[in-house]
């Protein structure tokens, strides 16, 4: 078969696979629409069963008569159980695939949110909420594994960036859907109806339509073109060397991966520090009525919608699929925004400027998060991308859980929002140092 130079330049991963030009184009369309876009759309509604705690926190504090520390403990329980769930799902996803794992997550989170909504004692709520965190953790790592099966390292930044953008879109949907329901019908309704009418039916649709790897859809495996990269080297790992717990041992003995994981821990302190506490920040410092909080706080997820896809494209296009340069840019700018909020506060800045800063804060923090997940996929390649992402996500949600207790404790003891934003800036600075030591 004659090779078209233009097609070879556009799709070097297909060279030598015996695909005609029309078949190459069909392959590319399939992996975009039936893999990346499909799972991004599904995941955009998955957070309705997780971020609802933070969105509903002001109502829950008032209705249940709990302290901010107790409310923060609920966030911590979810995040740490999610950490265990995502750690396990990375290995399971490498074996069973995203279709199975994501379906377990979607159905399970619907059931457990309904159970939580039926309870009134904070102590009794924590156990099913912890199980919900574990179940919610079943989706993200297997999904990244699925995308890695379809996209080589040179094009993975954009593909995983599109998917990571769904985290920002999901945050917007939580603000719009959960926010509307909680404002009109209360927090219990916000834990039930969005899951029943959005998350559950879309989970069923995903299971029917998705395909985990090219072979499942009748396509051949692509060629990894960047053979000297960390992703190319991962392709050469023998199956016997990563069987069972050996995969985790291999990762945790890789100092570069551990450094990236610690940087991601720090960044997740910032990501979830904002997502969890921004509604309360507005309520306490701007004097906004509870019913208006969802509208006022939509700035953060609006920025998150666009950060990852642009960051992924930048890393692929300008930095030859290295992620640390774009990571540094995004994390530095996120730090500057946190310092500004810590220094001047909401009343000094005014609502319009604070709104704009939070849009940019969401843009940069989730863009950096998306790049860290892409880096984890690069470390694992097609052999163990799920395990790498799951392990990285374990560190992430340990950080997310830590911020719940730490920030809740800071606010209970000092009521100092500048101290909170200063903490998040400091964590991000440490992350910047680590990714520039690793330089992947």
Q: Which of 57-66, 74-83, 113-122, 266-275 shows the highest mean pLDDT?
A: 113-122
pTM: 0.86
pLDDT at residue 139 above 90? yes
Write out pLDDT tens, residues 48-90: 999 899 889 889 998 888 887 888 788 778 878 988 999 999 8
pLDDT at residue 290 above 60? no
For residue 228, give both structure tokens.
């000297």
Instruction: Look at residue 105 in the predicted model and tell me its pLDDT.
Output: 96
Instruction: Look at residue 297 in the predicted model and tell me its pLDDT.
Output: 62
Once rounded to an integer, what is the mean pLDDT over residues 166-187? Answer: 89
Instruction: Look at residue 189 in the predicted model and tell me its pLDDT.
Output: 96
Instruction: Look at residue 72 in the predicted model and tell me its pLDDT.
Output: 79
| Torsion angle of C-alpha atoms 271, 273, 275, 276, degrees rounded to 10 | 150
Domain ranges for the chain, please list them.
Answer: 20-212+244-438
Once rounded to an integer, what is the mean pLDDT over residues 319-330? Answer: 92
For residue 66, give both structure tokens.
């709990």
Handedness of CA 400, 405, 406, 408 (dihedral sign): positive
Q: How far apart are CA 371 and CA 314, in angstroms?
A: 10
Instruction: Look at residue 68 in the predicted model and tell me its pLDDT.
Output: 79
Where are the extended beta strands (E) located within 7-109? none
Which residue has tokens 């004097």? 287
pLDDT at residue 296 above 70? no
Mean of the per-residue pLDDT values for the chain?
Answer: 89
Q: How far apart are CA 263 and CA 440, in angstroms?
A: 13
Once rounded to an integer, what is the mean pLDDT over residues 229-248? Answer: 85
User: Which CATH superfamily includes the segment(s) 20-212+244-438?
Assistant: MFS general substrate transporter like domains (1.20.1250.20)
Contacts 24+ apart (CB under 8 A), 410-415: 411/68, 411/277, 411/280, 412/67, 412/68, 412/69
């Amino acid at each position: 078969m004659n090779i078209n130079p233009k097609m070879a330049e556009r799709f070097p991963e297909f060279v030598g696979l015996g695909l005609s030009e029309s078949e190459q184009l069909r392959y590319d369309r399939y992996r975009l629409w039936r893999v990346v876009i499909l799972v991004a759309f599904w995941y955009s509604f998955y957070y309705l069963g997780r971020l609802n705690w933070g969105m509903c926190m002001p109502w829950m504090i008032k209705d249940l008569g709990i302290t901010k520390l107790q409310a923060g403990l609920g966030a911590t329980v979810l995040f740490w159980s999610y950490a265990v769930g995502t750690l396990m799902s990375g290995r399971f996803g490498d074996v069973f695939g995203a279709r199975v794992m994501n379906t377990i997550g979607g159905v399970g989170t619907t059931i457990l949110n309904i159970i939580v909504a039926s309870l009134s004692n904070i102590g009794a709520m924590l156990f099913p909420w912890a199980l919900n965190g574990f179940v919610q953790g079943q989706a993200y790592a297997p999904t990244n594994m699925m995308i890695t099966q379809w996209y080589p390292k040179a094009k993975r930044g954009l593909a995983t960036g599109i998917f990571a953008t769904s985290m920002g879109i999901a945050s917007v949907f939580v603000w719009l859907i959960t926010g509307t329901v909680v404002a009109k019908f209360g927090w219990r309704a916000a834990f039930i109806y969005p899951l029943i009418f959005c998350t559950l039916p879309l989970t069923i649709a995903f299971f029917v339509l998705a395909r985990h790897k090219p072979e499942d859809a009748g396509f051949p495996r692509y060629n990894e073109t960047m053979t000297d990269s960390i992703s190319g080297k991962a392709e050469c790992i023998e199956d016997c060397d990563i069987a069972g717990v050996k995969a985790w041992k291999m990762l945790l003995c890789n100092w570069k991966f551990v450094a990236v994981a610690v940087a991601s821990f720090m960044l997740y302190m910032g990501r979830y520090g904002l997502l969890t506490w921004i509604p309360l920040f507005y309520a306490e410092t701007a004097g906004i009525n509870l019913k208006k909080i969802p509208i006022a706080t939509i700035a953060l997820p609006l920025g998150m919608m666009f950060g990852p896809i642009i960051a992924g494209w930048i890393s692929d296009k300008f930095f030859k699929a290295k992620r640390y340069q774009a990571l540094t840019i995004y994390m530095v700018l996120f730090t500057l925004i946190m310092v500004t909020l810590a220094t001047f506060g909401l009343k000094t800045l005014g609502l319009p400027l604070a709104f704009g800063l939070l849009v940019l804060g969401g843009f940069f923090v989730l863009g950096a998060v998306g790049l860290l997940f892409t880096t984890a996929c690069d470390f694992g390649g097609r052999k163990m991308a799920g395990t790498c992402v799951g392990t990285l996500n374990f560190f992430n949600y340990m950080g997310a859980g830590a911020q719940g207790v730490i920030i809740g404790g800071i606010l209970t003891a000092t009521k100092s929002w500048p101290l909170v934003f200063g903490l998040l800036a400091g964590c991000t600075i440490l992350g910047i140092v680590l990714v520039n030591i690793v330089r992947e």
